[in-house]
Amino acid sequence: MKRFNRRLPLLLLSLLVLSACAGPGADPAVDPAVRAEAARLASAQLGQLEPRLTAQEHDQILELLEQLVPLRQTRAQTGRWALLPREEELVGQLNQLYEDFTQRYLEEPEEPEGEEEAPALARYDVGRDGKLTPVEGEDSYRPLWDQVKALLPEGSLDAFDRFTVFTDGEANILAYVAPADLEGTRWELAVDAQDTGDLTEFTETVYHEYAHYLTLNSQQVTYGGAPRYDCYGETDLVSKADSYLNAFYQRFWRDYLDDRLADPDSDRFYLRHEADFITSYAATSPSEDIAESFSYFVLYDKQEGASVWEQKQNFFYDYPELVAFRDQARARLGL
């Protein structure tokens, strides 16, 4: 949920599609429908790698996916979220191939800076009237709270009970939000006092972090809920079927989430799918991706192209309440 203080240019790379036809090494005993689904998943998961692989390397991927697809279909019929043991094994093998091929064919990106725990400079309780009561530290950060409020439509921070000011130095974590209770009903906002000088970066981050609240509050997800096959979930939460996050996951992440989870610390996943993401940080997870996309939705014009990152930025226009949020926020910005 925490956001690194960096912004990368938008990427307009074409995503080539792998043919669903069987390759020269295809097993004729495999059901054609399974083979076609395996080829579709290969296209989704390989991304930028697809045109670079040899025919033999393609066949390696397809052979594993042709084993994986029937297991996934079985799990779907039972409504089970967790991967079966054999699925985990196959996903691990696929991810290792993807990682090896990415290292072989694509340029290695710069490593992100690590996060360090930073002590609070000040803490405030936020009253239901929006007024701050100092709890800890020096009472000199009220203007920072007002700066955040000025970017958001009236009443946007009504669910926030805590405001924390911290610093981990410049150009690291600018801000974060987090649930203030077990259900995700009440929330905390934290801002780095040293990272507010770049107004563009600060504004993007405020909308990014607010998107976490919009997509992870108690109306959108269940904390501690049992995982479900048909709904996106993380370690401590499961999204509701009609939530923004689940709709975003079903449309943009379903085909390659297992690969992302197989090696979550690797940056090579992003290299394989640059054309799918507005920034490299968006490739971290569906929840970070939807937050980055929401920030760009609010701040920038509607996209006219058909690339995946453009579809993500335009995703929110399907929700009138989010369009209204955008209109009000942009009016405050004078856009």
**Full DSSP string of 87-116:** HHHHHHHHHHHHHHHHHHHSPPPPPPPPP-
CB 26 within 8 A of CB 35: yes
Per-residue tokens: 18: 């792998």
| pLDDT of 58 above 80 | yes
Q: Mean of the per-residue pLDDT values for the chain?
A: 88
- Which runs of E-coded beta strand occur in 16-82? none
pLDDT tens column, 236-246 = 899 999 999 99
- Residue 108: pLDDT band by 50, 70, 90 thresholds? low
pLDDT tens column, 268-307 = 999 999 999 999 999 999 999 999 999 999 999 999 999 9
pLDDT tens column, 134-178 = 999 989 999 999 999 999 999 999 999 999 999 887 767 889 999
Residues 290 and 306: their CA atoms lie apart, in Å, by: 17
pLDDT tens column, 178-205 = 999 999 999 999 999 988 888 999 999 9
With a CB cutoff of 8 Å and minimum separation 6, the contacts of 14 are 275, 307
Give the chain's radius of gyration (CA, Å): 22
Mean pLDDT, rounded, for 313-319: 98
Residues 217 and 225: their CA atoms lie apart, in Å, by: 13
| pLDDT of 114 above 90 | no
Specify the pLDDT at position 74: 92
Specify the pLDDT at position 301: 96
Per-residue tokens: 267: 């940056």
DSSP state of 316: G
Burial 48-72 (b: 16+ CB within 10 A, else e): bbbeebeeebbbbbbbbbbbbbebb
Of 119-128, 161-170, 326-335, the range with the highest mean pLDDT is 326-335
Q: Is 214 exposed, middle or buried (0-12, 13-18, 19+ CB in 10 A)?
A: buried
Specify the pLDDT at position 202: 93
pLDDT tens column, 17-40 = 223 333 444 556 889 999 999 999
Mean pLDDT, rounded, for 209-217: 98
Specify the pLDDT at position 170: 73
| pLDDT of 15 above 50 | no
pLDDT tens column, 68-102 = 999 999 999 999 999 999 999 999 999 999 998 89
Amino acid at 202: F
Specify the pLDDT at position 105: 85
| pLDDT of 14 above 70 | no
CB 76 within 8 A of CB 229: yes
Q: How far apart are the first and last CA of the chain?
A: 27
